[in-house]
């Protein structure tokens, strides 16, 4: 907006600023009108969304929305309280002019009234956008976060709400309404309460603490754990005695932090105990932001995969009906975050080996061991004109091939030993990522389960398959039982595909109300925390 246009618009708005005057007898006389150029606002150094502000007040016939007779109206008070509550969402109220607005709260001059009016409108636009899209650009901070966003215009929503008398309803529904988000907000309040009480002390002990030990640091350990989760039960036999009740508390802490739950306070557990409360607050704030990066309304029934937490859940109207462990991509082949739908179940799937795995992982082994493919029941195909023909692996000199010269396709037979296990959950996406079973069931016992090449291996995949069939309306599932008894490949389309969201949350609240934290296995928190100006050390994957 040019200076001249801003000046003209300022007059159009300010001509409607009126202050009631009274005479000596207390009788209201004709109101006085003030003309204050918008340059007085610009001189205050305010950076506002002028095009949106102009558009808004044009729809309001250039009348004040948040003031009456120079004072905040009830509606304006509600908006100010809402802006001030941004901290509850893990955001900074100062980003929405709250500090400036409070400084103007007792000023009734025409200039102050106009500035306050514009700051409230601009504050609404900023906070509404941040609650619906996130405060920061997801793709810029995490290129592997490719989940869709909503089509939402904060200004149109405000104009409609004011016209329909639903302003409060609008404010109450701009932030995510999922139970998981609301629980994480409560967790933020809990940890800020700990921070206000001074946080917890550093556990100063170099030796490993085990159940049965007597050590002066045991009392400090017990006090540290009680800061997050108040202890119950009987008193310990002695303040320095590491009893079984304390061991249970340590195991509970370890499970919440994704550590080996052995009840032993070794280096990893000690480091997690000594991370300051500010680190936990920063993690929660970062993950509240990630929830705002998701679509505002997740479908009532959906699969939610959390790659940072190595878990999958089937959600039905905010109720968890299936919750199991997962294995996902290792550091160099990270599982991306995106949305899709499970459209088909494949029992006894064939596995077409991705080219990247074939040339980077398998070719070096083939060059050392010619029988490698045979042991894994992997067949080799090479194009002959328009057709792919099977080739005997022993007839190929693998030493002559490399990443830029690999004219083969590798396919693993269905059945026992197949890398996809017995079940594949097909979900179209540009990453060629899908959910599947695995023959390597022992990997689910590891705290850090970043072992795959990007796809997500699901614990109890047969249970999940039956739930998805039930969701899709399969009345008879006998075919599934029959298919699982063979090594033949069966493909069943789901008449009602299941939405699936692959996400990355390093903090969340479980069904029991316990707050969980996880190491930042893919180092995706770092840039987000930096953007949030959180002075927190890099949170590495420590197990």
501 forms bridges with which residues in the sheet?
A: 304, 339
Whether 436 is catalytic: yes
Lowest mean pLDDT of 99-103, 453-457, 471-475, name the range: 471-475
Q: Which of 97, 426, 436, 516 is catalytic?
A: 436
Prediction pTM value: 0.89
Measured distance CA(104)–CA(106) in Å, rounded = 6
pLDDT of residue 263: 96
Please indicate, yes or no, if residue 136 is contained in any of the structural domains: yes
pLDDT digits (tens, 9 = 90+) for 270-321: 999 999 999 999 999 999 999 999 999 999 999 999 999 999 999 999 999 9
| Residues 206, 125 share a domain | no
pLDDT of residue 230: 77
| Residues 84, 39 share a domain | yes
Measured distance CA(509)–CA(259) in Å, rounded = 16
pLDDT of residue 27: 46
pLDDT of residue 4: 44
| Residues 262, 321 share a domain | no
| Residues 373, 342 share a domain | no
pLDDT of residue 156: 97
Please indicate, yes or no, if residue 510 is contained in any of the structural domains: no
Please indicate, yes or no, if residue 214 is contained in any of the structural domains: yes
HEC string of 46-108? Answer: CCCCHHHHHHHHHHCCCCCCCEECCEECHHHHHHHHHHHHHHHHCCCHHHHCHHHHHHCCCCC
| Residues 255, 139 share a domain | no
Q: State the average pLDDT for the chain.
A: 89
Average pLDDT of the residues in 92-120: 90
Eight-state DSSP code of residue 437: -
Q: Which of 67, 455, 471, 516 is catalytic?
A: 455
Nearest to 19 by CA among 64, 60, 68: 68
- Sign of the Cα torsion 455, 344, 338, 526 reads negative
Q: Are 313 and 500 in contact (CB under 8 A)?
A: no
For residue 14, name the pLDDT band (cuts at 50, 70, 90).
very low
| Residues 381, 307 share a domain | no
- The answer to whether residue 537 scores a pLDDT higher than 50 is no
What CATH number is attached to the domain comprising 321? 2.40.440.10
Whether 67 is catalytic: no
Q: What tokens were used for 421?
A: 């296990």
- The answer to whether residue 324 scores a pLDDT higher than 90 is yes
Question: For the chain, what is the domain count?
Answer: 4
Please indicate, yes or no, if residue 285 is contained in any of the structural domains: no
| Residues 233, 128 share a domain | no
Please indicate, yes or no, if residue 121 is contained in any of the structural domains: yes
pLDDT of residue 231: 67
What's phi and psi for 512, nearest 5 deg?
-90, 0
- The answer to whether residue 541 scores a pLDDT higher than 70 is no
In the chain, what percentage of residues exceed pLDDT 90? 77
What CATH number is attached to the domain comprising 235? 1.10.101.10
Q: What tokens were used for 116?
A: 């306050």
| Residues 44, 125 share a domain | yes
| Residues 152, 120 share a domain | yes
State the DSSP H helix or E strand holding residue 346, giving kind and residue range, or none if neither: strand 339-347
pLDDT digits (tens, 9 = 90+) for 346-398: 999 999 999 999 999 999 999 999 889 999 999 999 998 889 999 999 889 99
- The answer to whether residue 76 scores a pLDDT higher than 70 is yes
Please indicate, yes or no, if residue 240 is contained in any of the structural domains: yes
Nearest to 410 by CA among 439, 388, 427, 426: 388
| Residues 444, 327 share a domain | yes
pLDDT of residue 478: 87
pLDDT of residue 540: 44
Average pLDDT of the residues in 465-488: 89
Q: Are 243 and 225 in contact (CB under 8 A)?
A: no
Please indicate, yes or no, if residue 443 is contained in any of the structural domains: yes
What is the residue whose two structure tokens read 């080799």?
Answer: 380
| Residues 500, 365 share a domain | no
Residue 268 lies in domain: 200-275
For residue 28, name the pLDDT band (cuts at 50, 70, 90).
very low
Q: Which of 392, 412, 432 is the last residue of a domain?
A: 412
| Residues 356, 344 share a domain | no
Please indicate, yes or no, if residue 266 is contained in any of the structural domains: yes
């Amino acid at each position: 907006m040019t200076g001249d246009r801003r000046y003209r618009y300022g007059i159009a708005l300010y001509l409607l600023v009126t202050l009631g005057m009274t005479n000596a007898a207390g009788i209201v006389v004709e109101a006085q009108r003030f003309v204050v150029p918008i340059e007085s606002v610009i001189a205050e150094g305010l950076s506002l969304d002028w095009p949106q502000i102009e558009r808004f007040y044009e729809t309001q016939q250039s009348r004040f929305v948040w003031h009456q007779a120079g004072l905040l109206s009830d509606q304006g008070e509600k908006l100010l309280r809402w802006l001030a509550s941004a901290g509850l969402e893990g955001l900074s109220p100062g980003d929405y002019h709250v500090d400036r607005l409070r400084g103007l709260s007792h000023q009734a001059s025409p200039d102050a009234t106009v500035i306050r009016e514009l700051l409230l409108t601009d504050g609404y636009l900023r906070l509404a956008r941040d609650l619906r899209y996130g405060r920061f650009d997801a793709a810029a901070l995490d290129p592997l976060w490719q989940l869709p966003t909503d089509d939402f215009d904060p200004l149109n929503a405000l104009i409609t709400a004011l016209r329909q008398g639903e302003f409060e309803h609008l404010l109450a529904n701009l932030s995510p309404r999922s139970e998981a988000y609301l629980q994480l907000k409560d967790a933020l309040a809990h940890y800020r309460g700990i921070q206000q009480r001074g946080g917890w002390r550093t556990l100063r002990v170099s030796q490993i603490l085990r159940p049965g030990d007597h050590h002066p640091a045991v009392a400090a350990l017990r006090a540290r754990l009680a800061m997050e989760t108040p202890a119950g039960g009987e008193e310990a036999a002695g303040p320095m005695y590491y009893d079984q009740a304390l061991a249970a508390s340590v195991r509970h802490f370890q499970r919440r932090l994704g550590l080996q739950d052995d009840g032993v306070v070794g280096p990893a557990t000690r480091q997690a105990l000594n991370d300051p409360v500010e680190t936990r607050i920063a993690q929660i704030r970062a993950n509240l932001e990630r929830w705002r990066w998701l679509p505002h309304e997740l479908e009532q029934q959906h699969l939610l995969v959390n790659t940072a937490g190595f878990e999958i859940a089937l959600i039905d109207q905010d109720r968890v009906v299936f919750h199991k462990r997962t294995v996902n991509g290792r550091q160099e082949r990270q599982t991306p975050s995106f949305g899709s739908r499970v459209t088909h179940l494949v029992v006894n799937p064939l596995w077409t080996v991705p080219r990247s795995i074939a040339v980077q992982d398998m070719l070096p082994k083939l060059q050392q061991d010619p029988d490698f493919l045979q042991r894994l029941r992997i067949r080799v195909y090479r194009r002959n004109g328009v057709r792919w023909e099977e080739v005997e692996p022993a007839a190929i000199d693998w030493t002559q091939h490399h990443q830029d010269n690999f004219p083969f396709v590798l396919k693993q037979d269905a059945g026992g030993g197949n890398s996809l296990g017995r079940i594949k959950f097909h979900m179209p996406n540009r990453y060629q990522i899908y959910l599947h079973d695995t023959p390597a069931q022992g990997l689910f016992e590891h705290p850090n389960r970043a072992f795959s090449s990007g796809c997500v291996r699901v614990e109890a995949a047969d249970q999940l398959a039956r739930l998805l069939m039930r969701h899709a309306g399969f009345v008879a599932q006998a075919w599934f039982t029959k298919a699982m008894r063979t090594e033949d490949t069966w493909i069943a389309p789901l008449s009602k595909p299941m939405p699936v969201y692959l996400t990355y949350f390093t903090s969340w609240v479980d069904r029991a109300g316990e707050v969980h934290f996880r190491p930042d296995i893919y180092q995706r928190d770092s840039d987000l925390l930096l953007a949030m100006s959180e002075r927190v050390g890099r949170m590495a994957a420590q197990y």
